[in-house]
């Protein structure tokens, strides 16, 4: 698997990055079960991300969108995707775009665009509702949503697994865990267990945001979670423009000893 950071800015787009959006690619086979091809999915599609995304992939090459929750900085550019599918004068040459998300996803996006829920955007998107803890198979991916702690009806960390050749005739499973938005909780540790890459938010700072509970992680709490889960690498993300990335790293380093970096829009990471 490969992760490309499209947007990593917390809560709203920043001057150097859109809001949350991450492109994940893996090798698999086409629907015929034989022909090799690359599969491409998005983790979230926050405001400002759709434009930058097109630097890295043609929209029709996307296979699906996975939404962690329904705050605008994680889902709102789905409205722009609807326009790209519906109004392209050359037509959309693929089936409806699969969109995995919370229960209210279809209605929420229709409302944001000023549409009636029926038909809403169902003609363009194949809305699929997450079932907590149930693994979905999608191309070469295994997708598991795990409930986490954030002030909205449904918020999930997403565990993405894919198998790849091990060079000795067998396969090895690679694991990418995306925290979505969350404060520390057992669900997040479960989702990140033994992950090869833990893409984890760190929107708060110790000392500055101590009075706010159940909303976001600090760098320290992200590091503690990574250590508890045994994650092999930690990639901090969702830093608002007023955060100091170095401070987030120093906080995380108090609890986590493994490889660590801050997500940067445009950079890619092997999983």
The pTM assigned to this predicted structure is 0.97
Per-residue pLDDT tens listing for the chain (271 residues): 999 999 999 999 999 999 999 999 999 999 888 999 999 999 999 999 999 999 999 999 999 999 999 999 999 999 999 999 999 999 999 999 999 999 999 999 999 999 999 999 999 999 999 999 999 999 999 999 999 999 999 999 999 999 998 888 899 999 999 999 999 999 999 999 999 999 999 999 999 999 999 999 999 999 999 999 999 999 999 999 999 999 999 999 999 999 999 999 999 999 9
Label residue 65 left, alpha or beta by phi (over 0 means left) and psi (-120 to 50 means alpha). Answer: beta
- Would you state the structure tokens that stand for residue 69, as one six-digit string? 């929750």
- In the β-sheet with 141-147, what is the strand arrangement from edge to edge? 136-138, 141-147, 156-165, 171-178, 197-201, 234-237, 260-262
How far apart, in whole angstroms, are the C-alpha atoms of residue 264 and residue 245? 11
* 33 within 8 A of 146, measured Cβ to Cβ: no
Domains and CATH numbers, the chain: 2-270 (3.60.15.10)
Per-residue confidence (pLDDT) for residue 166, from 0 to 100 = 86
């Amino acid at each position: 698997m490969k992760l490309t950071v499209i947007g990593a800015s917390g809560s709203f787009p920043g001057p150097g990055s859109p809001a949350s959006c991450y492109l994940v690619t893996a090798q698999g086979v086409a629907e015929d079960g034989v022909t090799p091809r690359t599969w491409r999915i998005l983790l979230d599609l926050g405001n400002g991300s759709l434009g930058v995304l097109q630097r890295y992939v043609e929209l029709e090459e996307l296979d699906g969108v996975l939404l962690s929750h329904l705050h605008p900085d994680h889902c709102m550019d789905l409205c722009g995707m609807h326009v790209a599918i519906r109004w392209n004068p050359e037509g959309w040459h693929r089936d409806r775009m699969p969109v995995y998300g919370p229960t209210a996803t279809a209605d929420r996006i229709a409302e944001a665009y000023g549409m009636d829920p029926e038909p809403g955007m169902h003609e363009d998107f194949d809305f699929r509702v997450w079932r907590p803890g149930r693994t979905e198979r999608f191309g070469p991916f295994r997708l598991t949503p795990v409930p986490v702690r954030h002030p909205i009806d449904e918020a999930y960390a997403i565990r993405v697994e894919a198998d790849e050749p091990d060079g000795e005739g067998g396969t090895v499973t690679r694991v990418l865990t995306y925290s979505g938005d969350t404060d520390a909780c057992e669900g997040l540790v479960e989702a990140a267990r033994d992950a090869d890459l833990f893409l984890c938010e760190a929107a708060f700072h110790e000392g500055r945001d101590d009075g706010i509970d159940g909303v976001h992680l600090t760098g320290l709490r992200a590091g503690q979670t990574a250590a508890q889960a045994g994650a092999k690498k930690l990639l901090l993300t969702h830093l608002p423009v007023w955060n100091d990335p170095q401070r987030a790293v120093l906080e995380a380093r108090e609890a986590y000893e493994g490889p660590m970096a801050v997500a940067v829009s445009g950079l890619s990471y092997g999983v």
